Amino acid sequence: MTPERLLLFSAARQLFALNLQEVCEVMEPQQCYPFAGAPPHYQGLINFHGNLTALVDLAGYLRLPGRPLPGKILVIDTRLAHLALKVDAVGSILDAASITGASSHEDPLTEALLDTPQGNVRLLRLETLLTGLEQELQQNAPNNAKPGGT
């Protein structure tokens, strides 16, 4: 079932959408503080209203060929995660009535491929994205065991 309102945005020249209720703010790029041991698409931490929030380059995470743009930052609702996504641009808010068709997609991160007046849009499954990012961080976490030791 498609949410009533979607936020459209682009990354690596592709159109994506998230349920509008999953995003709490759209921001301009800001200073980012790197943190050690994170995968390369983790750009670091940003200060979001006094809370440290992980900033992930969405195109990098999806392994899509990106380009260095200032872009925008989508801050995910802080009740769901302390996560922000760097995207190329933010488009518009799309009402469900504007969606002319929807089809399934083999990518587990994609809830549906939507036909809209703006073109084909991949509706992202936020829960799957959050789970994937969390698992990736756990895999890259420093191990307490010393190399070659027990």
Tell me the chain's radius of gyration from C-alpha atoms. 16
**pLDDT one-digit tens code per residue, 91-106:** 999 998 899 899 988 8
Domain ranges of the chain: 5-140
pLDDT at residue 144 in the model: 40
Q: How far is CA 90 from CA 7, 96, 97, 103, 145, in A?
A: 8, 18, 20, 23, 44
Q: What is the pTM of this model?
A: 0.88
Cβ atoms of 50 and 43 within 8 Å: the answer is no
**pLDDT one-digit tens code per residue, 70-123:** 899 999 999 999 999 999 999 999 998 899 899 988 889 999 999 999 999 999
Q: What is the DSSP string of 76-135?
A: EPTTT-SEEEEESEEEEEEEGGG--EEE--SSTTEEEEEEETTEEEEEE-HHHHHHHHHH
Q: Tell me: pLDDT of 140 over 90.
A: no
CATH says 5-140 is which class?
mainly beta
Cβ atoms of 9 and 72 within 8 Å: the answer is yes
